[in-house]
Structure 1
Amino acid sequence: MTEILAPEATDRAVLPAQRVVDHPAWPVLKAAVEEIRPWQSADGSIDLDAENAPSGDTVRASVDRMTAAIGELDPLLPHNAAYHQALVADLRRWADGGFGVPDFLNSLLAFQPAQQRVDGLQHLVVFPMYTQNGNPDRNFEAVVLRMVWPEWLSDLERTRFDNPLFLGITFEDFTAGYDTNSAVLFPETIAVREAPERFTWGGIFCDREAARFRKVSEAAVDVLGIELPEDIKQLIADQKRCEEAFVLWDMVHDRTHSHGDLPFDPFMIKQRQPFWMYGLEELRCDLTAFKEAVKLEAEGFAQARDVQYAVIFDRMFRFPVTGDRVRNYDGLGGQLLFAYLHKHDVVRWTDNTLRIDWERAPQVTNQLCGEIEQLYRDGIDRPKLVHWFKAYELVSTYLAPHPGSVWAKGPDALDLTQPPRKLVDEVLADEFPLSMFYEALAKKLRGVIKSTKGITAHSDIQAAA
């Protein structure tokens, strides 16, 4: 087991003046990874007999450059010595085995970043992995990241939002799989021979989330003619402030998946459900973060009010118009929040201008959270299929289903002799299409959404300069 350094030793040993990305070995490692990636198949293997395939010696030379560079970077990161040692062993074993389907379970088990949550701590992460909302193939990726764990957040996690596996992180640099829309680092994406008994960490890149939020919100405000209170203007202009809002939002959101009535994690669940169930779960977690932020604001936490604005703006303006319309459950949650606020006169779209009742927004947003929580609570006493129909009823109260939907016609239109998982096949890919408001907004924000691919705090600042 990796020895865990005491906080005092950690501060001295792992927060060096030199950034990993400034060391000459980092571009060497990054180039070697980028060289290997195009040779890999979807499962991470390399077919040396394929047309135009590299020779085994050529691939091994790239692996050797990777291992040598990792060795040079290792002294900068003594807290990860055991992981680097296991990583080099896994790379060599992959090469000695003829570059088949990679198995990096040993190095995954050795990488334990949640055991040392120190603000500013650097990590070098190298794995064959897919990137969620990015590259679906298990190619090698190399990422240098930095931990976001300020004292105020650490205190909140310890005293009221226990989440020992959560990592707030920011990008330092990355390979091509993260030059995408991916903003997470999850262990379940890594190529291993078998899943470990339990995962021990999960990371959210709050700098990417914040930068996307700022860029899309600024564009949406301009397009919709929204009059912003001064504090929201200042929030959108401040990357650091947005990062603090997102790391708090994400920490509370993440823990909510395992708290409350009938919780489940959409990324971990092994059963099939209609995608509106995943949409409601993601929205429940966001609105729980919103509700907790209202409480924290009353207690004087400056970041808490920012969380409320971030949830409302990101959910209403970015999520519904991002990605395609195939089972887009995050988009569905955003559509539902907007429709609910519109139904209750918190937002009004008149004269091509969106007006928001900022005073009533917290109360009505919490009201929607209460309706979803009541749905979950009542679901404890219902069969699964009845619960799905009740959830559909909640969503369709505010969002119009597709005219061709079978589910919208009710239970009599479905073959209820089939098991519930088979009835999921009757769900349309876009069961709740965009409203006319969102169709128009999507066209106007399409270019801005596209431009946020691969964005970080650094690229956002450079673009604004």
Structure 2
Amino acid sequence: MTEVLSPRTPGKGEISGEDIIDHPQWAVLKQAVEAIRPWQSKDGSIDFEAEGAPSRDDAARTLGRVVDAVEQLAPLLPHDAAYHQALVADLRRWSDGGFGVPDFLDSLLAFQPAADRRDGLQHLVLFPMYTQNGNPDRNLEAVALRVVWPQWLAELERTRYDNPLFVPITFQDFTPGYDTNSAVLFPETVAVREAPSRWTWGAIFCDREAARFRAVTEAAVDTLGLKLPEEAAKLVQDQDLAEQTFVLWDMIHDRTHSHGDLPFDPFMIKQRAPFWMYGLEELRCDLTSFREAVKLQAEGHPMGLGVQYAILFDRLFRFPVTGARTRNYDGLGGQLLFSYLHKHDAVRWTDNTLRIDWERAPQVTNQLCAEIETLYRDGIDRPKLVHWFAAYDLVATYLSPHPGSVWAKGPEALDLSLPPRKLVDDVLPDEFPLSMFYEALAKKLREVIASTKGITGDSAVRSAA
């Protein structure tokens, strides 16, 4: 592995103008939104008969402050004029309709951030929504953000990794639904009367991803006694460089869901499947990104090496020990990668010290990617249940199933008269428990992982300073 360079600091200079969070109406907007959120039910409506509920007049007045703030902030963001006009209409209709289940489809359709991905472009986003890995309720949320679209990334997307719906972003400020572990802004989380025929954008907060990667990796490296190459250490220390690295990783990962030999719906939103299928899909996309990064490095691209380090460290250190163990498919993918590298002598845990063979690790990682791709290609010719078992066998080759697993006993242990979706009920919540290595690591990293809740790029830089 060779050198990685920082092409530029993303999202901080190509777009001029006043930061919306410095405008006094941003504080007014946040206060009004935060007043409304506790009044809302899980579906976003307000039950005026509930204990602690406001009067209808109080709710209408508070929402009026939200509308006034949006209208005063909107001139700072002329590129979002159509969205903000539709947003004001949706807010007023919600109020006039008595604050029932909100429907913001019109404003959602008007918001098109992927159509203008200028580096540093600001957006004020306001929707009733849940936040993935954050708040499960459809509360009103306000987020101020900037687009990250440096020229080098735009060129790679145009010439090599076409992904017209991908929008990398950074936080400026947010309401409590994003003071969580959520690092995405997805249109499907918004309360609407009906889902659009197609989604036209998806946004990922690269600053949060980079900041928590750096915090957890630094703690893991210290705990495990791992010696990092100079350029890997630079990536862990530099927030701007880490953000750029994650933008490239995310762009390739995101498009991979729709590329390759896919025996099933790539996002698996129309079917019920065992969680290891989701884990393998996410891992396939990451390993494809890794393989592309190896190619970029070989071609002399300065970001290729950093993406490899980021994928290895996030997958090996953060993913397996983050979140609950119930159907933790990202954790499963991280466990699988570690075990595969360990069994192929690219990773060794000896004398309480972790050692990575930096030359062998890329070869072995690409080998795992090839095995998963073979599974997918063969799966096109298999019935669904046979494919699920083939995937189970691949995972179980490297990870020990729970001793009480029914699936581990094979097809004869299941009621095969049931449709496949019913057999998912026989999957244990933690079908592949943590190894002793990861159980110990989870205890060591528990506090630092908890500390990354709500982290942003700015807060990480302030903390380091």
Compute the TM-score of the two structures, normalised by the length of structure 1.
Answer: 0.96
Question: Aligned partners of 1:280, 1:255: CA distance in 2, in Å?
Answer: 16
Task: Output one character per residue of 1:254-288: Cα deviation in whole Å (capped at 9) or x when no partner.
Answer: 00001101166675521100000000000000000
Task: Output one character per residue of 1:299-349: Cα deviation in whole Å (capped at 9) or x when no partner.
Answer: 121111100000000000000000000000000000000000000011100
Question: Aligned partners of 1:28, 1:288: CA distance in 2, in Å?
Answer: 45
Question: Aligned partners of 1:209, 1:50: CA distance in 2, in Å?
Answer: 38
The reply on whether 1:238 has 2:238 as its aligned counterpart is yes
Question: 2:46 matched to which residue of 1?
Answer: 46
SS of corresponding position for 2:109: helix
How many residues of Structure 1 are paired with residues of Structure 2 in the alignment? Answer: 453
SS of corresponding position for 2:143: strand
Task: Output one character per residue of 1:136-180: Cα deviation in whole Å (capped at 9) or x when no partner.
Answer: 000000000100011111111111111100001000000000000
Q: Is the 8 A contact 2:122 2:146 kept in 1?
A: yes
Question: 1:253 matched to which residue of 2?
Answer: 253
SS of corresponding position for 2:128: strand
Structure 1 stretches of 4+ moved >2 Å: 14-17, 263-268
Specify the code of the residue in structure 1 equivalent to 2:414. Answer: L
> Which is bigger in relative contact order (C-alpha 8 A, separation at least 6)?
2
The reply on whether 1:55 has 2:62 as its aligned counterpart is no
Question: Aligned partners of 1:21, 1:257: CA distance in 2, in Å?
Answer: 35
The reply on whether 1:362 has 2:362 as its aligned counterpart is yes
Displacement after TM superposition at 1:16 (Å): 3.5
Question: 2:26 matched to which residue of 1?
Answer: 26
Question: Aligned partners of 1:188, 1:153: CA distance in 2, in Å?
Answer: 26
The reply on whether 1:400 has 2:400 as its aligned counterpart is yes
Question: 1:199 matched to which residue of 2?
Answer: 199
Q: Is the 8 A contact 1:117 1:149 kept in 2?
A: yes
SS of corresponding position for 1:302: coil
Question: 2:420 matched to which residue of 1?
Answer: 420
Task: Output one character per residue of 1:237-269: Cα deviation in whole Å (capped at 9) or x when no partner.
Answer: 000100011000000000000110116667552
The reply on whether 1:113 has 2:116 as its aligned counterpart is no
SS of corresponding position for 2:172: strand
Question: Aligned partners of 2:285, 2:311: CA distance in 1, in Å?
Answer: 11
Specify the code of the residue in structure 1 equivalent to 2:143. Answer: V
Gaps of 5+ in 1: 1-13
Compute the TM-score of the two structures, normalised by the length of structure 2.
Answer: 0.96
SS of corresponding position for 1:143: strand
Q: Is the 8 A contact 1:186 1:202 kept in 2?
A: yes
Displacement after TM superposition at 1:50 (Å): 1.5
Task: Output one character per residue of 1:55-105: Cα deviation in whole Å (capped at 9) or x when no partner.
Answer: 011111111111111111111100000000000000000000000000000
Q: Is the 8 A contact 1:141 1:176 kept in 2?
A: yes
Question: 2:280 matched to which residue of 1?
Answer: 280
Root mean square deviation, CA, Å:
1.2
Specify the code of the residue in structure 2 equivalent to 1:396. Answer: A
Q: Percent identity?
A: 77
Q: Is the 8 A contact 2:339 2:398 kept in 1?
A: yes
Kindly tell me: are residues 126 and 461 of structure 1, through their superposed partners in 2, closer, same or farther at Cα, counting changes over 3 Å?
same
Question: 1:380 matched to which residue of 2?
Answer: 380
Task: Output one character per residue of 1:105-131: Cα deviation in whole Å (capped at 9) or x when no partner.
Answer: 000000001000100000000000000
Question: Aligned partners of 2:148, 2:395: CA distance in 1, in Å?
Answer: 36
Q: Is the 8 A contact 2:258 2:266 kept in 1?
A: no
Specify the code of the residue in structure 1 equivalent to 2:332. Answer: L
Gaps of 5+ in 2: 1-13
1:14-413 matches, within 5 Å, as: 15-262=15-262, 269-413=269-413
SS of corresponding position for 2:303: helix
Kindly tell me: are residues 263 and 186 of structure 1, through their superposed partners in 2, closer, same or farther at Cα, counting changes over 3 Å?
farther
Question: Aligned partners of 1:382, 1:266: CA distance in 2, in Å?
Answer: 16
Specify the code of the residue in structure 2 equivalent to 1:214. Answer: R
Question: Aligned partners of 2:289, 2:44: CA distance in 1, in Å?
Answer: 37
Question: Aligned partners of 2:73, 2:189: CA distance in 1, in Å?
Answer: 24
1:453-464 matches, within 5 Å, as: 453-464=453-464
Q: Is the 8 A contact 2:257 2:267 kept in 1?
A: no
Question: Aligned partners of 1:109, 1:347: CA distance in 2, in Å?
Answer: 48
Q: Is the 8 A contact 2:67 2:91 kept in 1?
A: yes
Q: Is the 8 A contact 1:325 1:430 kept in 2?
A: yes
Question: Aligned partners of 1:26, 1:156: CA distance in 2, in Å?
Answer: 35
Specify the code of the residue in structure 1 equivalent to 2:398. Answer: Y
Question: Aligned partners of 2:153, 2:264: CA distance in 1, in Å?
Answer: 24
